[in-house]
């Protein structure tokens, strides 16, 4: 929403993105994620027969526990997939809609320099979003499709460690000084 307002309504940005709206967005995000986690907790608390079980993952994901349960998990899996589809579909559709509106706005910019600046700002943000949702999707699909503990651990590392570490790096690539330093480093590394 921030990128959408910054590019589609630049003159009204400070009025629209006021501290009250920002706090409301953070609060709504926190409440939705809290509700989502509590639904997952309720699903897992209904399961039985977890004696002497070791989960080789960095966090106790509900899909891991559903795979280890002795009771029937069909109803729990259906609820988990519905919640997962809603949690993935709603933000993704909002992101696609906002980027559609951003692209329409960028096409109306008369100068090529302005279009380039808007595309570079949105490109780094879109790269981080794709990285986050791609690794999250890989984590949850790999945990349901694959029973391999090693693959689940690799997906967990990608989702919990690599994505947050790359986030500042991708945003810093918008800085020309960092781009030049990275190119010099890569050219020295390749030549030697």
Asked if residues 69 and 51 have their Cβ atoms less than 8 Å apart, the reply is no
For the entire predicted model, the pTM comes to 0.65
37 contacts: CB under 8 Å, gap ≥ 6: none
Angle between helices 112-145 and 149-157 (to 10 degrees): 150
Q: What pLDDT is recorded for position 60?
A: 65
Q: What pLDDT is recorded for position 19?
A: 92
Q: Which long-range contacts (CB under 8 A, 24 or more apart) does 12-20 make?
A: none
Model pLDDT for residues 51-84, shown as the tens digit of each residue? 666 666 556 666 667 767 777 778 877 887 788 7
d(CA 65, CA 29): 26
Q: What pLDDT is recorded for position 184?
A: 85
Q: List Cα–Cα distances, 25 to 28, 90, 118, 177, in angstroms.
A: 5, 15, 23, 33
Q: What pLDDT is recorded for position 30?
A: 93
**Mean pLDDT score of the chain, rounded to an integer?**
77
Distance from the first to the final alpha carbon of the chain:
45
Tens digit of pLDDT per residue, the chain (192 long)? 888 888 888 888 889 999 999 999 999 989 988 988 888 788 777 777 666 666 665 566 666 677 677 777 788 778 877 887 787 788 888 888 988 888 888 888 888 887 887 777 777 777 777 777 777 776 666 555 555 666 666 767 777 777 777 777 766 766 667 677 778 888 888 887
Q: What pLDDT is recorded for position 27?
A: 96
> Where in the chain are the domains?
2-49+57-191
């Amino acid at each position: 929403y921030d990128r959408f307002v910054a590019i589609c309504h630049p003159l009204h940005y400070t009025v629209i993105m006021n501290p009250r709206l920002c706090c409301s967005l953070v609060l709504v995000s926190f409440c939705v994620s809290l509700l989502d986690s509590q639904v997952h907790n309720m699903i897992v608390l209904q399961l039985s027969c977890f004696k002497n079980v070791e989960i080789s993952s960095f966090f106790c994901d509900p899909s891991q526990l559903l795979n280890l349960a002795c009771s029937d998990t069909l109803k729990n899996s259906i609820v988990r997939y519905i919640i997962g589809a809603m949690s993935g579909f709603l933000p993704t559709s909002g992101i696609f809609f906002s980027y559609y509106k951003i692209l329409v706005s960028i096409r109306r910019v008369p100068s090529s320099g302005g279009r380039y600046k808007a595309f570079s700002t949105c490109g780094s943000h879109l790269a981080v979003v794709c990285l986050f949702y791609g690794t999250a999707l890989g984590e949850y699909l790999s945990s349901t499709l694959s029973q391999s503990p090693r693959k689940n651990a690799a997906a967990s590392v990608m989702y919990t460690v690599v994505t947050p570490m790359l986030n500042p790096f991708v945003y810093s690539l918008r800085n020309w000084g960092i781009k030049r330093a990275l190119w010099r480093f890569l050219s020295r590394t390749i030549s030697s």
